[in-house]
Amino acid sequence: MSEPQPTRLSDYHPPAYRVTHTELTFDLDPAATRVKARLHLERHPERAADTPLELDGERLALEAIAIDGQPLDEGEYALTDTGLTVHRVPGTFRLDTEVAIAPEANTALEGLYQSNGMYCTQCEAEGFRRITFYPDRPDVMATFSTTVIGDARREPVLLSNGNPVERGELPGGRHFVTWEDPHPKPCYLFALVAGDLERVEDSFTTRSGREVTLQIWVEEENLGKTDHAMASLKRAMRWDEETYGREYDLDLFMIVAVNDFNMGAMENKGLNIFNSAAVLTHPKTATDAAFQRVEGIVAHEYFHNWSGNRVTCRDWFQLSLKEGFTVFRDQCFSADTNSAPVKRIEDVSFFRTAQFAEDAGPTAHPVRPDHYIEISNFYTLTIYEKGAEIVRMLRNLVGWEAFRQGSDLYFARHDGQAVTIEDFVGCMEEASGLDLAQFMLWYSQAGTPEIDAFGEYDYARCEYRLILRQRTPATPDQHDKRPLHVPIHLGLVGTKSGHDLPLTLDGEALGSDAVIHLREAEQEFLFTDVSEAPVPSLLRGFSAPVKLRFPYSREDLAFLLANDADGFNRWDAGQRLAMLALDDLIAAHRNGVEKVMDPRVTEAFRGLLNAEVDDRAVLAEMLTLPSEAYIAEQQPLVDVDAIHAAREFMRQGLATALRDDFLRVYRENADDAPYAPEPEQIARRSLKNVALAYLMAIEDEDGIELAREQFAADHNMSDVRHALTLLVHSSRDELSEPALKAFGETWAHDPLVMDQWFAIQVTRPQPDVLDRLKFLMHHPAFSLKNPNKVRALIGTFAGQNRVNFHRLDGEGYRLLTDVVIELNRLNPEIAARLITPLTRWARFDEERQALMKAELERIRAEELSPNVYEVVEKALA
Ligand code: B3K
Ligand code: ZN
């Protein structure tokens, strides 16, 4: 078997032939769908007349091929496993092909496949080549006209991109619909859906007066679960008009929910296809977090209509051009519709846990990679989330007004084009006049920059000297790193006044908080006229995706937690304070000495619980300890058991000391108003539920009673799921078993709720969890072919049940490996993602390292998909 070879950015060449118009006809059949394609092609003016036509194509049975109506002889073209070459073609011509494909056999869920009997597609990044022979690259943009033929009874609904222009009956109980998409698009945005679906319809009038029909298509039983997605869509449409001046550009916008989907959703032009988990909600079946996720993803896919579809990527190395920008856009939208500080806290906690880990591991890559074996492996936290942080830094560096001008310029200048990250940053540079040459390094340099900060107050001169030193650690393939241009948003909080002091830097008054630009490896900032000794509040709002260290004392942190004007940094000070205390507890556990609770943490929490509450949602975050995964990220060597023990000790210590406060907070925030996914209610629920979790950490009798009542009251899924989790994670079977059974029976018919039922069980800290997991893999609601189920059961276990996944008998690793090996054949994209926890072996003790590497070797011995091959090779390099 030949080893898969990398594709390189430096090898980019414009396409030799472009497609001006694409006509497709699908005659649907589960085992043999026939796809006729008529491509109108044109040679690039600078290419020689004898340039062969090369088209991508995989797993296609070619049945006919003709140029300008003339069938080709066998000697005139060549077929391989990856495509089709026609040796000589005219300068402008029409290519007709006909192929057969088998949607029912497609378990990779790329290209045309079946989900619950309905047909659907996923073409990004390179799935279209599994549908027909085509130049499957984003810089080939064509208008599409698509006819879908199906069985009138089994597939009454036939959808594709654009507008329906013709429909009719055909012999043999078949029917057809023809769709036309007037906007030139790359084939990765092509979509087709056919099945027995029902729709919910609404409408939206754009600000220039275009009446847009909005449809959400679902299976009949899900008709009652679309309200929130529809409302979110309308909010997103309005927001994009108001914030970015972007209007929708077709008369119809459709969303379809499918059960089997590799990702959250896909922004196909005019026909977004969604994982049902990312669109369906109901107060009884979806948690607050799920409601918010749906809102964010609906907005994200909608925003792609401009950032991605109208202006697309030249090649897949530019993926973050559309993803980083669109994530930034959806983050700002969610911040505007919910609690802005909480949105930032949630995004940053996730980022610092998961993206930092990726950037420090063997699969670390720049936001614009320069090579890949399998592009599906690059839909990562780095491309998406770090890409969004870079766009956010740009916004902060140039200010919103210039950023908006740059965005307008980008959309106007590049409308209908496939462009690069330079084109985007160039527009920002032009609009702002700021030199962004050094800033571009953020796109090419992998790894998380580390900044060491030191500060000194000179009482006599009233000066505060801040020294910043940056370095980025080596990552695979990149050893020497250059200093980056880092925006540091900061304030100096007066220790007497508790307020931000006015900032004067190099004689310039900057106001009370400001962004300073770090560009050198080491740089000094001298603030003058500082009237009292300050504690610096650095990297406010997480103004750059870096690790910033400052030798804060615990008193400094308690002070910032109480006084910092920046809500995000107040929260962060609390996290830092808890981390210092957790470090002591981890050390005590490892050394076998008695653990002692730091009273400063308890007092800080007491202060929070008794202060006037201005934002309950932020308070709930402040009362939440760093996760085990985040704590692990901070340790030089991960000791999963010590981390778990230390964190539990702290939770129990806080619960014991502050039991009455938690009980009071629970009662004050309990509320039986009808469920609404709106910020004030969500905030109350999360605060109440944080309090309940502390009470359950010590299995307090009142807490147990409240958890049981909350579960039985069945008011909304947020409360029910939280209570169920606490009961199931308790040490008492008499609490967990009846609740689990009741829940499982009530919701056996609802796959999205069963996903939650699976996830709750496999996050149990008890050691029997592995047996339970193996048993659940045979549950009728589980299937390896459904990515949501795999994520709920296997992904959740490996990612979130750290003590049990990392068991020293290696059973957790073995189980994950068995699943990866099976999925390597069924669904390589999901298999490759699932390996992630094993790739982090270098962070653990030698015994675990050996066990994890042995499992990676076991995978390597298989016949591997390029996806899994690439990840395993990097992990073992
Ligand atoms: N653009 C899609 C990504 C799908 C790729 C799957 N291989 C989802 C999104 O970012 O909106
Ligand atoms: Zn996206």
- Judgement on whether residues 339 and 454 belong to the same structural domain of the protein: no
Mean pLDDT, to the nearest integer, of 386-406?
98
**Nearest C-alpha neighbor of 758 from the set 715, 801, 718:** 801
Pocket of ligand 1 (CB under 6 A): 124-125, 262-263, 265-267, 300-301, 304, 323, 376, 379
Q: Which of 109, 110, 124 to mutate to test the pocket of ligand 1 (most atoms within 8 A of CB)?
A: 124
Question: Which atom in ligand 1 lies closest to the alpha carbon of residue 384?
Answer: 10
Residue 798 lies in a domain: no
- Judgement on whether residues 45 and 155 belong to the same structural domain of the protein: yes
Q: Can 737 be counted among the known catalytic residues?
A: no
How far apart (Å, rounded) are the C-alpha atoms in residues 517 and 520? 9
**What pLDDT does residue 325 have?**
99
Helix or strand or coil: residue 18? Answer: strand
Q: Which residues fall within 8 angstroms of residue 35, CB to CB, at 6 or more apart?
A: 24, 25, 26, 27, 98, 99, 100, 101, 131, 132
How far apart (Å, rounded) are the C-alpha atoms in residues 357 and 629? 9
Q: Which residues fall within 8 angstroms of residue 67, CB to CB, at 6 or more apart?
A: 86, 89, 90, 93, 94, 95, 96
Write the CATH number for 432: 1.10.390.10
Residue 170 lies in a domain: yes
> Scanning the structure block, which residue is given the tokens 């299976």?
219
- Judgement on whether residues 460 and 438 belong to the same structural domain of the protein: no
Residue 673 lies in a domain: no
Neighbours of 465 (CB within 10 A): 15
- Judgement on whether residues 373 and 514 belong to the same structural domain of the protein: no
Domains held by the chain: number: 3
Q: Taking a C-beta distance cutoff of 8 angstroms, is the pair 801, 838 a contact?
A: no
The vertex-536 CA angle with 532 and 537, nearest 5°, equals: 130
How far apart (Å, rounded) are the C-alpha atoms in residues 53 and 561? 64
Residue 58 CA to ligand 1 center (angstroms) comes to 20
Helix or strand or coil: residue 274? Answer: strand
Residue 787 lies in a domain: no
Q: Does residue 252 carry a pLDDT above 70?
A: yes
pTM, two decimal places: 0.99
Residue 299 lies in a domain: no
Question: Which atom in ligand 1 lies closest to the alpha carbon of residue 829?
Answer: 7
Write the CATH number for 63: 2.60.40.1730
Residue 177 lies in a domain: yes
Over its C-alpha atoms, the chain yields an Rg (Å, rounded) of: 28
- Judgement on whether residues 456 and 515 belong to the same structural domain of the protein: yes
**Nearest C-alpha neighbor of 456 from the set 445, 446, 467, 448:** 467
Residue with CA nearest ligand 1 atom 9: 266
Q: Taking a C-beta distance cutoff of 8 angstroms, is the pair 290, 357 a contact?
A: no
Tokens of 663: 């009980």
How far apart (Å, rounded) are the C-alpha atoms in residues 607 and 624? 14
**Nearest C-alpha neighbor of 374 from the set 876, 874, 869, 873:** 869
- Judgement on whether residues 455 and 353 belong to the same structural domain of the protein: no
Q: 506, exposed or middle or buried, with CB in 10 Å at 0-12, 13-18, 19+?
A: exposed
Q: Which helix (H) or strand (E) holds 772?
A: helix 769-776
Residue with CA nearest ligand 1 atom 8: 266
Residue 614 lies in a domain: no
Residue with CA nearest ligand 1 atom 5: 124
Question: Which atom in ligand 1 lies closest to the alpha carbon of residue 127?
Answer: 7
- Judgement on whether residues 369 and 491 belong to the same structural domain of the protein: no
**What pLDDT does residue 442 have?**
98
Residue with CA nearest ligand 1 atom 1: 266
Q: Does residue 64 carry a pLDDT above 60?
A: yes
Q: Taking a C-beta distance cutoff of 8 angstroms, is the pair 318, 421 a contact?
A: yes
- Would you give the DSSP letter of residue 500? B
How far apart (Å, rounded) are the C-alpha atoms in residues 34 and 14? 31
pLDDT bin (cut points 50, 70, 90) of residue 614 is: confident
Computed over every residue of the chain, the mean pLDDT equals 98
How far apart (Å, rounded) are the C-alpha atoms in residues 458 and 48? 72
Interval 751-785: pLDDT, tens: 999 999 999 999 999 999 999 999 999 999 999 99
**What pLDDT does residue 205 have?**
98
Question: Which atom in ligand 1 lies closest to the alpha carbon of residue 265?
Answer: 8
- Would you give the DSSP letter of residue 120? E
- Judgement on whether residues 438 and 463 belong to the same structural domain of the protein: no
Helix or strand or coil: residue 760? Answer: helix
Task: Select from 397, 426, 444 the last residue of a domain.
Answer: 444
**Residue ranges making up the domain that contains 419:** 311-444
| DSSP-derived pairing of the beta strands 192-195 and 211-218 | unpaired
How far apart (Å, rounded) are the C-alpha atoms in residues 761 and 765? 9
**Nearest C-alpha neighbor of 148 from the set 164, 136, 132, 134:** 164
Nearest ligand by distance to the CA of 268: 1
- Kindly provide the b/e burial profile for residues 372-397, where b requires at least 16 CB atoms within 10 angstroms of the residue's own CB: bbbbbbbbbbbbbbbbbbbbbbbbbb
Q: Taking a C-beta distance cutoff of 8 angstroms, is the pair 769, 805 a contact?
A: no
Tokens of 823: 């999925």
- Judgement on whether residues 394 and 464 belong to the same structural domain of the protein: no
Helix or strand or coil: residue 157? Answer: strand
For the chain, how many residues are written? 877
Residue 129 CA to ligand 2 center (angstroms) comes to 21
Query: One of 98, 110, 295, 301 is an active-site residue; which one?
Result: 301
- Would you give the DSSP letter of residue 189? G
Task: Select from 144, 172, 195 the last residue of a domain.
Answer: 195
**Nearest C-alpha neighbor of 454 from the set 525, 541, 542, 558:** 525
How far apart (Å, rounded) are the C-alpha atoms in residues 466 and 454? 6
DSSP letter string, 753-800: HHHHHHHHHHT--STTHHHHHHHHTTSTT--TT-HHHHIIIIIHHHHH
Tokens of 254: 């459709």
- Judgement on whether residues 405 and 488 belong to the same structural domain of the protein: no
- Judgement on whether residues 384 and 355 belong to the same structural domain of the protein: yes
- Judgement on whether residues 334 and 399 belong to the same structural domain of the protein: yes
SS (H, E, C) 30-86: CCCEEEEEEEEEEECCCCCCCCCEEEECCCCEEEEEEECCEECCHHHEEECCCEEEE
**What pLDDT does residue 613 have?**
84
Tokens of 23: 């006509």
Q: Which residues fall within 8 angstroms of residue 466, CB to CB, at 6 or more apart?
A: 453, 454, 455, 490, 524, 525, 526, 527, 536
Nearest ligand by distance to the CA of 326: 2
Q: Which helix (H) or strand (E) holds 377?
A: none
How far apart (Å, rounded) are the C-alpha atoms in residues 800 and 671? 30
Q: Which of 267, 268, 300 to mutate to test the pocket of ligand 1 (most atoms within 8 A of CB)?
A: 267
Task: Select from 417, 444, 471 the last residue of a domain.
Answer: 444
How far apart (Å, rounded) are the C-alpha atoms in residues 169 and 43? 38
Q: Which of 263, 300, 322 to mutate to test the pocket of ligand 1 (most atoms within 8 A of CB)?
A: 263
> Scanning the structure block, which residue is given the tokens 């000791």?
639
Q: Where are the beta strands (DSSP E) in 408-553?
A: 418-419, 450-458, 463-471, 486-494, 503-505, 508-511, 514-518, 522-528, 534-537, 547-549
Residue 329 CA to ligand 2 center (angstroms) comes to 10
Residue 421 CA to ligand 2 center (angstroms) comes to 16
Residue 266 CA to ligand 2 center (angstroms) comes to 7
Write the CATH number for 466: 2.60.40.1840
Residue 417 lies in a domain: yes
Mean pLDDT, to the nearest integer, of 2-17?
95
**Nearest C-alpha neighbor of 743 from the set 711, 719, 774:** 711
Q: Taking a C-beta distance cutoff of 8 angstroms, is the pair 872, 828 a contact?
A: no
Q: Which helix (H) or strand (E) holds 408?
A: helix 387-414
Neighbours of 144 (CB within 10 A): 24
Strand partners, 834: none
Interval 18-52: pLDDT, tens: 999 999 999 999 999 999 999 999 999 999 999 99
Strand partners, 93: 41
Q: Does residue 1 carry a pLDDT above 80?
A: no
Question: Which atom in ligand 1 lies closest to the alpha carbon of residue 297?
Answer: 11
Interval 176-191: pLDDT, tens: 999 999 999 999 999 9
Interval 193-248: pLDDT, tens: 999 999 999 999 999 999 999 999 999 999 999 999 999 999 999 999 999 999 99
Residue with CA nearest ligand 1 atom 2: 266
pLDDT bin (cut points 50, 70, 90) of residue 728 is: very high
Q: Does residue 4 carry a pLDDT above 90?
A: yes
How far apart (Å, rounded) are the C-alpha atoms in residues 665 and 671? 12
pLDDT bin (cut points 50, 70, 90) of residue 802 is: very high
| DSSP-derived pairing of the beta strands 463-471 and 522-528 | antiparallel
Residue 744 CA to ligand 1 center (angstroms) comes to 32
How far apart (Å, rounded) are the C-alpha atoms in residues 563 and 771? 49
